[in-house]
Structure 1
Amino acid sequence: MLDQVKQEKIIAVLRHVPPAKLVHTVEALSDGGIKIIEVTMNSGDALKCISKLRELYSQEKLIIGAGTVLNLSMAKEAISAGAQFLISPNLDIPAIHYATEQAIDFWPGVITPTEAVNAWNAGANAVKLFPAGRLGAAFIKDIKGPLSDIPIIATGGITLQNQHTFLQAGAAAVGLGGELIKMDFINNNRFDELRQHASQFVEEISSESGIR
């Protein structure tokens, strides 16, 4: 799973997307070149949305995971719904242990080297640096010195203009929420514009020398 994330570089974070518009939204993102989808657990009908997407799309087409997985209970629910990976903004060791036992990748949120190492030792095979935009790409470059073995997914404050900066600093991938998932497009059924918007992010990463 992590190898595919490293290859694609982009995780699309769907938060509060209306369930009635979920499939149109995901189809637009997929047509734009996005292949990894994260449905946050604090979205309406998140578990049903994850299950529905897993039914509709094969792993070759899209990878579907759960985000904002804050604790063990949520991890169990997300995995039962079919999530292929879990992401959280926080570090919860029991949840990591459970996901590891189920052979599901869990990428917990960290903000310090100590948290990153604790997550790694607990079984996480990557960590989510959040909020990456506040910390800056230089922070990733600095901690990748002593923690070169721990893959980092940069999330929070990532934009079309700065995404490659975080990747060049050493991030394995970026998580994109509001900058990619434009709710104005979704709420007004402008899915072709969402597709075009998504393709800009994919093309920008693809065009960066040494990124992909």
Structure 2
Amino acid sequence: MKLINELLTSRLVAIVRGITRGEARIAGAGLAAGGVKLMEVTMNTEEALDIIQDWRSLYNGRAYVGAGTVLNVKMAKEAVAAGAEFLISPNVDLNVIAYALEQGVDVWPGAMTPTEIVSAFQAGAEAVKLFPMASLGPGYLREIRAPLDQIPLIATGGVSLGNIAEYYEAGANAVGIGSSLLPKDALAAGNAERIAECARPFVEASVVRKG
């Protein structure tokens, strides 16, 4: 199942990094309850493959599970074998893109320059993660959006509830959000409802208004 339409509709990818398998169960429960449809665990998280398997089992049908920080084909194969439904990376690796296409899995590689963005898209990536947004800012996104308006872009890094609207206005088709969605105190306390409460305003801010 291809997920590009879900990405362009829900416009939000939750990024989970550096937490334990137990914490991930709390995080996943809260994010799913809060309405997040796309959840990514980065491959440099110690138990990433177990977390992917857990999430697929627990939230299948309610949320889609992907792997982030996929740097090479080996990682991509491990992630897909664990059940990852989409792959995200901070870089453009044409071999990873080709593998994902062979497997029928969405791949959204990371890029910064117009050349990288276009190369990834022409290689078959359905969307491109614009990274690092915390350093580039919405002004950069706005500048490249005009000539690259046909390429779906996911703004990742530095997006908060206070500036999410600015990124959408600058032309982001979706955003990737990490720590802002997962308060450390809520994780430590095992408070999934607190995480859901945190996620809901981000989900609401990302809803595409019609009419």
TM-score, structure 1 normalization: 0.93
Helix, strand or coil for the counterpart of 2:100? helix
Alignment partner, residue 167 of structure 1: 168
CA distance in 2 between partners of 1:93 and 1:197 (Å): 36
Aligned residue in 1 for 2:53: 51
Give the secondary structure class of the aligned counterpart of 2:129: strand
Residue 210 and residue 57 in structure 1: after superposition, are their counterparts in 2 closer, same or farther (change >3 A)?
A: closer
Is residue 21 from structure 1 mapped to residue 13 from structure 2 by the alignment? no
Give the 3-state SS of the residue equivalent to 2:91 in structure 1.
coil
Contact persistence 1:89–1:109 (CA under 8 A)? yes
Contact persistence 1:168–1:211 (CA under 8 A): no
The equivalent residue for 1:78 is 79
Question: Kindly tell me: are residues 125 and 42 of structure 1, through their superposed partners in 2, closer, same or farther at Cα, counting changes over 3 Å?
Answer: same
Query: What is the CA-CA distance between 1:157 and the residue it aligns to?
Result: 0.5
CA contact (8 A) 1:12 1:34 kept: yes
Q: Secondary structure in 2 aligned to 1:179?
A: helix
C-alpha displacement of 1:18: 1.4
8 Å contact from structure 2 (residues 65, 86) kept in 1: yes
Verify the 8 A CA contact 1:205 1:211 in the aligned structure 2: no
Shift of 1:211: 8.1
Shift of 1:190: 2.7
Alpha-carbon distance in 2 for matches of 1:210, 1:199:
16
1:182 is aligned to 183
Deviation track 1:82-110 (CA, whole Å, cap 9, x = no partner) reads 10000001111111111111111111110
Q: What's the CA shift for 1:56?
A: 1.9
Deviations 1:100-127 (A, max 9, x none): 1111111111000000011112111110
Structure 2 portions without partners, runs of 5+: none
Q: Which has the higher contact order (CA 8 A, sep 6+)?
A: 2
**Cα distance per residue 1:35-63 (max 9 Å; x no partner):** 110011011210111012112222x3110
TM-score under structure 2 normalisation?
0.94
CA RMSD, aligned part only? 1.6
Alpha carbons 2:88, 2:108 under 8 Å: kept: yes
1:179 Cα offset (Å): 1.2
Does the aligned pair in 1 maintain the 2:26–2:191 contact within 8 Å? no
1:48/1:211 CA distance change after superposition, 3 Å = farther
Matches within 5 A, 1:142-153: 142-153=143-154
Asked if 1:31 corresponds to 2:9, the answer is: no
Displacement, 1:210? 4.2
Code of the residue aligned with 1:41 in structure 2: it is M
For residue 166 of structure 1, report the CA deviation from its aligned partner.
0.8
| Aligned: 1:194 with 2:198 | no
Q: 1:2 is aligned with what amino acid?
A: I
Instruction: After superposing the two structures, state which structure 1 stretch, 89-98 or 18-27, moved more.
Output: 18-27
Equivalent-residue separation in structure 1 for 2:87 and 2:210 (angstroms): 24
Name the CA distance, whole Å, in 2 between partners of 1:37 and 1:94.
23
| Corresponding residue SS for 1:136 | helix
* Distance in 2 (alpha carbons) for counterparts of 1:203 and 1:145: 26
**Paired positions, count:** 209
| Unaligned segments of structure 1, at least 5 residues | none
Asked if the contact 1:129/1:152 (under 8 Å) is kept, the reply is yes
Rounded Cα–Cα distance in structure 1 between residues aligned with 2:96 and 2:185: 34
Identity across matched positions, percent: 43
